[in-house]
Structure 1
């Protein structure tokens, strides 16, 4: 079963596997997503384009608006998978970090069991893992082992995928098929992508989201090349609209209106329907 904000379901349908309806960070002042009406319009546009589910990766403490998500799902007809988890340290106040870090496992498990979170979102660093990243990954792996929830990872500028897998699937003994690596298209290192795929992890290519993500135009080619290399069953696609300036430009519907037609029908069905149903199926 897949845990949505309205309860567990056995399928998602056409899915945007990484996006944000709500988001607010100390590191991005003035770029908050906190407009329920705008979120509803975005979901309705996605639904009219054929979308049936959105996975919101906004973690604990960054205005994920768990209170608003159920009503938005009902009104739009789009299933929403919500996240728990913890982002990079710069997104929070020092007091919030100090108060939260010692009890992350408890927070994550509570969100999954009592607040219908369907995944744990954490983050790596640029080409490596700092102490904060290691701590959050330890907590995420513990929550996975207790609940079965998948763990999604923000890779900073698409880097550090193999370091993440070494920790999560090595010392922390997570099965790689429960790990979702995000932003791989932002650092299109084919060698690293294929090593991550060979390890058994999910590869999430998410964009276009912001105008300054210069690798967005490569995403369709990366999808096709990875599929041709035998990894079609491990690919996910999302929009990752994270700021107010990005909302609606091009918006979630872009994935279905402009990206999906560039893929062969079989691959499109795989990355938009079949794979999300497997990646987020853990309960």
Structure 2
């Protein structure tokens, strides 16, 4: 038996539906707030709700919100968004990456780096596990995924400790795992640690794999059974959509379609349609990218609609499940 833990309760995986596998619906990153980088302040519940309504109108039903505590998560705001729009939201336990850790922890006279340095691997494990079993940030709203991250071709000592503690929390709670990769680097190195710690790679989803559009790396990762999130859609400054679609179809040709997931990683006001900046918005993937993918997949000899159903319905309900 398996279940998915959402902000409004545990559900059968078949209830999840069409899912974005990596986005940020509400977040106030402490470090970026301290640096007064306003574009990263996704801090207006009403504006977020309006964008979520675009997602729902386009057929969306669920979102994995990948906002960890060091990126400024707010489980209460997320739950309001879920209840007001009817979408299912999976929230994040754990941490993001070391570059965010100079930020001040809310309500405490220390940075995230100071807190991590002061706590052992076992203590960090217990903290992350409690976010799954008890609640996030002093609430009874529970996370549904444990997360870790690494830097650009670097894994600091603190990141290594948090990574292994997160894997320990997974072992304790059976929660699914999500990882941040900086520009898609260290995908295989993360997997080596996961396997060395005795964790099944099929319990992990790796984010930002499309930032490093290397089909060989993607194939080697896929061999382990890991899920891979293509969440750079619309980020033309990195790669055009054609590159992402080509990478996805290369995985499909190798038989790895059951390990591909899709998200937008929308985390800037300028990416939202309703934060006053006129961005593409949360509905963009379903409104515009999916039809393009279906067309290009068809030209390559595949059933594009069936692949989208696999990527956005079948794969998330397995990847985000607690398996008992």
Shared fold (TM-score, shorter chain, > 0.5)? yes
Residue 134 of structure 1 is matched in structure 2 by: 160
Q: With structure 1 as the length reference, what TM-score do the two structures score?
A: 0.94
Q: Indicate the SS of the match to 1:203.
A: strand
Q: Which residue of 2 aligns with 1:254?
A: 284
Confirm or deny: 8 A CA contact 2:26 2:77 kept in the other structure: no
When normalised by structure 2's length, the TM-score is 0.83
Aligned to 2:254, what secondary structure does the other structure show? helix
Q: Give the Cα separation in 2 of the matches to 1:151 and 1:144.
A: 7
Question: For the Cα contact (< 8 Å) 1:16–1:252, is it kept in 2?
Answer: no
**1:265 paired to 2:291:** no
Structure 2 residue aligned with 1:282: 322
Which residue number corresponds to residue 131 of structure 2?
Answer: 111
Which residue of structure 2 aligns with residue 98 of structure 1?
114
How big is the shift at 1:22? 1.9
Distance 1:49 1:16 in 2: 12
Structure number, greater radius of gyration: 2
Secondary structure of the structure 1 residue equivalent to 2:155? coil
Q: In the alignment, what sits opposite 1:70?
A: 79
Matches within 5 A, 1:1-283: 1-10=3-12, 11=14, 12-25=16-29, 26-27=31-32, 29-30=37-38, 31-93=40-102, 95-96=110-111, 97-101=113-117, 102=119, 103-115=123-135, 116-170=142-196, 172-208=197-233, 210-248=235-273, 249-261=279-291, 262-263=293-294, 264-282=304-322
Of 22-31 and 134-143, the range deviating more from structure 2: 22-31
Q: Distance in 2 between matches of 1:232 and 1:33?
A: 32
Deviation readout 1:220-254 (Å, 9 max, x if unpaired): 22222211111001011000001122223222211
Residues 130 and 93 from structure 1, CA distance in 2 versus in 1: closer, same or farther, beyond 3 angstroms?
Answer: closer
1:215 offset after TM fit, Å?
A: 4.7
Which runs of no fewer than 5 residues in structure 2 stay unpaired?
104-109, 136-141, 274-278, 295-303
**How far apart are residue 74 of structure 1 and its match?**
1.4
Is the contact between residue 215 and residue 250 of structure 2 (CA under 8 Å) also seen in structure 1? no
Deviations 1:81-118 (CA, angstroms, capped at 9, x unpaired):
00011122221336322124514212211111122201
CA distance in 1, matches of 2:267, 2:235: 8
Unpaired runs of 5+ in structure 1? none
Q: Deviations over 1:107-161 (max 9, x none)?
A: 2111111222010121112224221221111111011000011111111101110
CA 23–154 in structure 1, closer or farther in 2 if over 3 Å, else same: same
- Count residues with an aligned counterpart: 282
Contact 2:98 2:156 in 1 (8 A): no
Q: Report Cα offsets for 1:195-222 as digits up to 9, x if no partner.
A: 0000111111002254533354422222
Residue by residue over 1:14-68, the C-alpha shift from the partner in whole angstroms, topping out at 9 and shown as x without a partner, is 0001000122331572221111111111111100100000000001232211011
